[in-house]
C-alpha cells in the first residue's frame, strides 16, 4: 500500500483492535506494522490476531510486518496483609525473602538474584518509580532501606533496580515458550525486553534460529551503557522511553533517544521510537500539542518507525490515533527543514562495496532527474542500506521472498513489490521499470536507478547499479543482452 510518507507506523493490537474490520481499517489508515504484545492475551488470542493480519495482507495485496513483543522477566514485591500500606519519607523499610504477608515495615521480594546484586547505596524503584528506596545495608536474603520517595505500596507492584546489572536472563520460561509459539506462527520480528547486555540478544537469536529478526528494546540504563555491543548483534532497536524514564531521570531520555537513533541510522539498523507518543488519545479523539511535538521530534531525527501502544490496543480511538500519526508524519516530511535536518545528520558507516553502491545510488538519484530507486533484494539488506541513505526519491524494493517484503515494512521509506525469481540483470531492469510505473512512482518517459547483487538470490552481493528508462522498449533497444 503506497504511503505519502517515509517513516513507518507500528500499531499494537489488543481488545480495541482485534477484529478483521478494525485491523483492516488500521492498515488502511496508515499502520505498516502490527505489534502483538505477549504480556497480554492467550496464545489462542494471539494466533487469531495473527491469522486476521495475514488475511488483511492477502485481501489488500499489501505486505504487513508482524512484531511479537516478549514480556521479559517481571520483578515484583509480594503481597501485604492489608493489601496495601503507606510509606513515608525517611522511614525504614525492609525487603526480604520471607513469604509472610507484608506490613508497613517490610514485604517479601521473591527474587534472590536481586539481593545478590545489591550494594549499600543502590536504589530500588517500586510501582513505576513512584516509590524510591535507598539500600542502607543488605545481604543475600534481605535489604534494609530508607524511603526517599513515599506513597502507597500494594500487592505485586513492579520493582526496578536501575543502577546495577542484575544476574537475570532477558528470557523467562514464559518468554521462551512464547518465542517458540510465535516463531511457529510466522512472525517477522521479535522484540526482546529486559536487555542488559549483548549476550541477552544472542540468546534470543539462537532460539529464533533465523525464523524471525531480533529487535532489542532499550529500556534499562545498562543497555544504554552497552548499546554499541547490543546494536552489533541486533537486527533492529526499539527505544522504549517509558521504562527508560522510570530507571533514568526523565530529562536524560530525549538526548539518549537522539543519540541512539543516530547510531542506528549509521549502522543501517531499523529503529522504533516507542511509548506514550499519543497517550492522551487513549481517551480523547485529539492529541495534545506536546504529544504532536514529541512525534514530530522523532520523525525529524530520522527514526524508521513510531509506535502506538495502548492508544491502538485498548484506547477508545485507535483509528484516529493512527490517522494522527500519519498526518503528523506527512506534515513534517513536507517541511523543507526536514530534509535539511535529515541530510545534516547523515553519518553512515561505509566499509563495503554494497555501502559504496547505495551511496552512489543516492547521489545519482538526487543530482539527476531520477524518479525512484529500485533495488532487488533477497534478504532485504540492499533495501535497508538504501534506506540508511535517506534519499529524496522513493525506494522501491523488489523481492521474490514474502518474508523479506514483510520485514521491510519496518524500514524507512521502503515500499515493497513481489516479483518472481530472476536470472539476468536485464530482466531485473525491465521488472523494475514496470513496477515503478505500476506503483505510480514514474511514467514511461522517466528514469529510475536500479541496484542489485549478481549473482541473484545470494545475500550480501549488492554490486551493480544502472540508470534505466521506464520504457522497457528502450531497455531492449539499448541492451541486446
Percent of the chain with pLDDT over 90: 88
Residue 137 clears pLDDT 50, i.e. is over it = yes
Any idea which residue has 534519499 for its cell?
391
Stretch 365-377: mean pLDDT, rounded?
93
- Distance, in Å, from the CA atom of 428 to the CA atom of 84, rounded to the nearest integer, reads 66
Stretch 75-92: mean pLDDT, rounded?
96
Q: Is the pTM of this model over 0.85?
A: yes
Residue 258 clears pLDDT 90, i.e. is over it = yes
Stretch 394-403: mean pLDDT, rounded?
95
Mean pLDDT lowest for which of 231-235, 247-251, 286-290, 320-324?
Answer: 247-251
Any idea which residue has 540508470 for its cell?
467
- Measured from the Cβ of residue 443, the count of other Cβ atoms closer than 10 Å reads 11
- Distance, in Å, from the CA atom of 438 to the CA atom of 93, rounded to the nearest integer, reads 68
**347 secondary structure, DSSP code:** -
Tell me if the bond preceding 455 is cis, omega within 30° of 0. Answer: yes
Q: What is the pLDDT of residues 163-182, one digit of tens each?
A: 899 999 999 999 999 999 99
pLDDT value for 480: 47
Determine contact, residues 141/111, Cβ cutoff 8 Å.
no
Determine contact, residues 210/204, Cβ cutoff 8 Å.
no
Catalytic residue chosen out of the listed positions 157, 217, 220, 466 = 217
Tell me if residue 5 is catalytic.
no
Q: What is the pLDDT of residues 413-455, one digit of tens each?
A: 999 999 888 778 888 889 999 999 999 999 999 999 999 887 7
70 burial (CB, 10 Å; 0-12 / 13-18 / 19+) is buried
DSSP-assigned beta bridge partners for residue 159? 126
Instruction: Tell me how many degrees the CA angle 404-407-412 measures, rounded to the nearest 5.
Output: 115
Distances (CA, A) of 431 to 63, 216, 450: 19, 36, 10
pLDDT value for 457: 67
pLDDT value for 350: 75
Alpha-carbon Rg for the chain, nearest whole angstrom, is 24
- Please give the residue that has the higher pLDDT: either 346 or 66: 66
pLDDT value for 426: 83
Residue 367 clears pLDDT 70, i.e. is over it = yes
- Distance, in Å, from the CA atom of 41 to the CA atom of 122, rounded to the nearest integer, reads 35
- Please give the residue that has the higher pLDDT: either 37 or 348: 37
- Distance, in Å, from the CA atom of 322 to the CA atom of 270, rounded to the nearest integer, reads 20
Tell me if residue 275 is catalytic.
yes
Stretch 312-317: mean pLDDT, rounded?
97
- Please give the residue that has the higher pLDDT: either 114 or 473: 114
Catalytic residue chosen out of the listed positions 12, 275, 324, 399 = 275
pLDDT value for 51: 98
Q: Which residues contact 82 (CB under 8 A, 6 or more apart)?
A: none
pLDDT value for 134: 97
Q: What is the pLDDT of residues 40-53, one digit of tens each?
A: 989 999 999 999 99
- Distance, in Å, from the CA atom of 452 to the CA atom of 457, rounded to the nearest integer, reads 10
Catalytic residue chosen out of the listed positions 5, 8, 12, 35 = 35
Residue 267 clears pLDDT 60, i.e. is over it = yes
Q: What is the pLDDT of residues 199-224, one digit of tens each?
A: 999 999 999 999 999 999 999 999 99
pLDDT value for 472: 73
Determine contact, residues 33/67, Cβ cutoff 8 Å.
yes
Catalytic residue chosen out of the listed positions 3, 54, 74, 76 = 76
Determine contact, residues 198/95, Cβ cutoff 8 Å.
no
Tell me if residue 76 is catalytic.
yes
Residue 473 clears pLDDT 90, i.e. is over it = no
DSSP per residue, 395-421: EEEEES-HHHHHHGGGSTTEEEEE---
Instruction: Tell me how many degrees the CA angle 149-151-155 measures, rounded to the nearest 5.
Output: 120
Residue-level length of the chain: 481
- Cell numbers standing for residue 113: 538474584
Distances (CA, A) of 345 to 258, 259, 264, 274, 341: 11, 11, 12, 21, 6
Tell me if residue 217 is catalytic.
yes
Q: Give the closest residue to 150 by CA, choosing from 170, 128, 132, 124.
A: 132
**pLDDT-derived band of residue 463, with 50, 70 and 90 as boundaries?**
confident
Determine contact, residues 167/113, Cβ cutoff 8 Å.
yes
Residue 479 clears pLDDT 70, i.e. is over it = no
pLDDT value for 478: 62
Domains in the chain (CATH in brackets) are: 8-72+170-339 (3.20.20.60), 84-160 (2.40.33.10), 353-478 (3.40.1380.20)
- Cell numbers standing for residue 156: 505485586
Amino acid at each position: 500500500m503506497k504511503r505519502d510518507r517515509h517513516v513507518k507506523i507500528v500499531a499494537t493490537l489488543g481488545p480495541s483492535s482485534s477484529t478483521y474490520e478494525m485491523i483492516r481499517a488500521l492498515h488502511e489508515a496508515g499502520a505498516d506494522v502490527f505489534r502483538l504484545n505477549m504480556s497480554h492475551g492467550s496464545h489462542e488470542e494471539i494466533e487469531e490476531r495473527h491469522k486476521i493480519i495475514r488475511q488483511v495482507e492477502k485481501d489488500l495485496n499489501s505486505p504487513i510486518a508482524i512484531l511479537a513483543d516478549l514480556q521479559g522477566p517481571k520483578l515484583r514485591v509480594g503481597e501485604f496483609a492489608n493489601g496495601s500500606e503507606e510509606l513515608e519519607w525517611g522511614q525504614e523499610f525492609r525487603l526480604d525473602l520471607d513469604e509472610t504477608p507484608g506490613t508497613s515495615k517490610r514485604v517479601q521480594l521473591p527474587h534472590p538474584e536481586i539481593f545478590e546484586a545489591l550494594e549499600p547505596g543502590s536504589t530500588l524503584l517500586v510501582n513505576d518509580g513512584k516509590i524510591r528506596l535507598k539500600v542502607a545495608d543488605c545481604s543475600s536474603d534481605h535489604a534494609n532501606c530508607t524511603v526517599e520517595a513515599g506513597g502507597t505500596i500494594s500487592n505485586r507492584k513492579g520493582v526496578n533496580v536501575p543502577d546495577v546489572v542484575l544476574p537475570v536472563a532477558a528470557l523467562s520460561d514464559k518468554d521462551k515458550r512464547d518465542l517458540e509459539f510465535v516463531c511457529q506462527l510466522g512472525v517477522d520480528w521479535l522484540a526482546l525486553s529486559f536487555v542488559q547486555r549483548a549476550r541477552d540478544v544472542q540468546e534470543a537469536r539462537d532460539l529464533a534460529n533465523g525464523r524471525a529478526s531480533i529487535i532489542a528494546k532499550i529500556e534499562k540504563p545498562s543497555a544504554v551503557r552497552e548499546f554499541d555491543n547490543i546494536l552489533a548483534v541486533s537486527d533492529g532497536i526499539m527505544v522504549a522511553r517509558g521504562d527508560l524514564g522510570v530507571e533514568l531521570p526523565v530529562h536524560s531520555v530525549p538526548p539518549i533517544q537522539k543519540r541512539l537513533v543516530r547510531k542506528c541510522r549509521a549502522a543501517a539498523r531499523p529503529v522504533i521510537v516507542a511509548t506514550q507518543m499519543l497517550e492522551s488519545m487513549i481517551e480523547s479523539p485529539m492529541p495534545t500539542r506536546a504529544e504532536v511535538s514529541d512525534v514530530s521530534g522523532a520523525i525529524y531525527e530520522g527514526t524508521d518507525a513510531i509506535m502506538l501502544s495502548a492508544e491502538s490496543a485498548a484506547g477508545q480511538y485507535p483509528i484516529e490515533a493512527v490517522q494522527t500519526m500519519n498526518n503528523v508524519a506527512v506534515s513534517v516530511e513536507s517541511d523543507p527543514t526536514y530534509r535539511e535536518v535529515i541530510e545534516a545528520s547523515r553519518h553512515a558507516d561505509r566499509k563495503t562495496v554494497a555501502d559504496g553502491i547505495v551511496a552512489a545510488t543516492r547521489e545519482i538519484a538526487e543530482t539527476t532527474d531520477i524518479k525512484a530507486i529500485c533495488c532487488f533484494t533477497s534478504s532485504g539488506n540492499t533495501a535497508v542500506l538504501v534506506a540508511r541513505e535517506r534519499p529524496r526519491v522513493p525506494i522501491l524494493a523488489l523481492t521474490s521472498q514474502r518474508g523479506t517484503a514483510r520485514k521491510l515494512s519496518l524500514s524507512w521509506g521502503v515500499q515493497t513489490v513481489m516479483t518472481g525469481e530472476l536470472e539476468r540483470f536485464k530482466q531485473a531492469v525491465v521488472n523494475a521499470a514496470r513496477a515503478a510505473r505500476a506503483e505510480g512512482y514514474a511514467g514511461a518517459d522517466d528514469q529510475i536507478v536500479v541496484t542489485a547483487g549478481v549473482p541473484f538470490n545470494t545475500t550480501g552481493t549488492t554490486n551493480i547499479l544502472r540508470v534505466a528508462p521506464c520504457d522497457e522498449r528502450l531497455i531492449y533497444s539499448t541492451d541486446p543482452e
